Structure 1
Amino acid sequence: MSVHYPSELDHHNGDQERVRVSRTGTKTVGIKKLQRGTGETLWQQLQADLQRRLREGEFTDAFPGELDLRDQYGVSRHTVRAAVRALREEGIVVASRGRSTRINTDAEITQPLGALYSLFASVEAANLRQRSIVRRLDIRADAHVAIRLGLEESAPLLYLERLRLADEQPLAHDCAWLPASIASPLLGADFSHTGLYDELASRCDIRLTGGSEQIRAVVPNSVQHKLLGTTPDVAAMKVERIGTANGTPVEWRTSLIRGDRFSVLADFTARSGYSLNLSATNMP
């Protein structure tokens, strides 16, 4: 059986999506036809379709090379290089001299400043597989946390401790306390693949509307390094948060996040700028 390698004009014919066989003999399913005159360049369309295929679980073994992509889509190598360059700039794929392009398994999770931030949502948005190992989920007392939440020192608290994974690699050690009086229904939730805020809304009818948090760099101890799977030369970011619902504290959370996989992002304008509240802290 002969295999047809399409020319750059082939994308003007045929179905919107097709099955092709690459020069290596690998079948590729659901390739989107690229079209001229749509307002997007061919390389932008190619970039978008490669992102879609990544989301749908293709390229688990290897990312296709330039010649394969040229043959699959019927475009020039210049078009392929522009699309792959854009993916590389976004951190989706990586490439270096002498090595083929490959999927970036160490994608960075970005937290927007000034927003109600969910680590679960951000991991999902980065096209990484989200999973948590639940280490503790129970009711307990903690005088220090209760005071932070404006409660009596002996008030029962729901405690949730998780090791957060992204693509099966440790990302964060996360501990959250909430008043048991409102959060006890969470004892029935499976937090291995769900967000705390989603469960809080659906099971307790509580939706966070604001809060405050402090983010600072720390040096993990040996136990924390082992938990996060980091080497001694990797720092971490410690996030401490009070989450509120209509001004009432409902969550105290501490998160230790790998510094090599986490960053914060601030938007600003020429008129208003932005400000960060920097305060001195006692480093551990």
Structure 2
Amino acid sequence: MNESSTRSNNGAAPLWKTISVDLGERLARGEFSHGFPGELELAQTYGVSRGTVRNALRPLRDKGAITAERGRRQRVVESGDGLLFGPLHSLFASVHAAGMIQRSTVLKQIVTTNPRVSALLDRSPTTPLFHLVRIRYANTAPLGWDELWLPNELVEPLAEVDFSNTALYKELRERCGITLDGGREELRADVASALDIHYLACDPGEPILSVNRLGIHAGAPIELRQSRIRGHRYAVTTQFGAITADD
């Protein structure tokens, strides 16, 4: 595939985005089950620069489809049941994919204890936990807010991170060498609470998507997260089975 052929029909899609989508589809088909190609190989395959390839790989890493340790090539994130494409939603990746600017206002970034959270993470009640609370924006409009807990002993480098414009899983991977390889996520329909109204400037009774996540790494729970997302500004789309042009 040469550089011109990677453009969309109307010429609007950046090369890196077109390549990223193509790689995602190939990952879903299981084409890289025996190893993910390096940047040079991908650059030669698509007929583009390595810089374009790096841009194309970034959304795949942010979604948890591939991972790489410093100094090593990317690899596909796998489990015994096949490919894992990371958490159901990533606000950071979703907002960027929509062509908008994602930023956050950090309300809390501390080390604390929480016996209830520690129990859910199979830790002792006095375990120090990294606790992060953020309001999330798409361009200038508040999209949602979330709070999360991680065992601090695993993620101490996160204390120095400015989370106003970066993805947690990116920093977790690059600074702590941790990529979630499993988990459980529950989505529920809800209406705006007092905190939602305060943080998001939404109306009483406005629909809210409540997301509770337990993230797993190396067989152990390490992340507990609750996200509250404005229902009229966010949609979850899934794909299954064979899809034809007529579907």
Partner residue, 1:226: 198
Aligned position for 1:206: 178
Q: Deviations over 1:170-198 (max 9, x none)?
A: 01111010001101110000101101011
CA distance in 1, matches of 2:218, 2:194: 40
Question: What are the ranges of 5 or more consecutive residues in structure 2 without an aligned counterpart?
Answer: 18-83, 243-247
What TM-score comes out, normalization by structure 1 length?
0.55
* Percent pairwise identity: 38
Structure 1: gaps spanning 5 or more residues: 1-34, 56-113, 271-284
**Correspondence for 1:125:** 97
> Would the aligned equivalents of 2:108 and 2:133 in 1 still touch at CA under 8 Å?
yes
Indicate whether 1:150 and 2:122 are aligned. Answer: yes
Distance 1:152 1:198 in 2: 27
CA root-mean-square deviation: 2.3
How does the TM-score come out when normalised to structure 2? 0.63
In structure 2, the partner of 1:168 is 140
Q: Is 1:116 equivalent to 2:86 in the alignment?
A: yes
Cα gap change, 1:115/1:261 in structure 2, threshold over 3 Å: closer, same or farther? farther
How much has 1:210 moved relative to structure 2?
Answer: 1.3
Corresponding residue pairs, total: 169
Q: Give the Cα–Cα distance (whole angstroms) in 2 for the partners of residues 218 and 176 of structure 1.
A: 19
1:266 aligned onto 2:206: no
- Residues 267 and 45 of structure 1, relative CA distance in 2, 3 Å threshold: closer
Instruction: Determine the structure 1 residue equivalent to 2:79.
Output: none
CA contact (8 A) 2:192 2:203 kept: no
The one-letter amino acid paired with 2:86 is: L
Cα offset for 1:132?
0.5
Higher Cα Rg: structure 1 or 2? 1
Match of 1:7 in 2: none
Partner of 1:180: 152
Q: Hey, what does 2:110 align to over in structure 1?
A: 138
> Among residues 235, 242, 246, which one is paired with 2:214 in the alignment?
242
Shift of 1:232: 2.5
For residues 229 and 220 of structure 1, the distance between their equivalents in structure 2, rounded to whole angstroms, comes to: 10
> Cα distance, 1:200 vs. partner?
0.7
Structure 1: 4+ residue segments shifted above 6 A = none
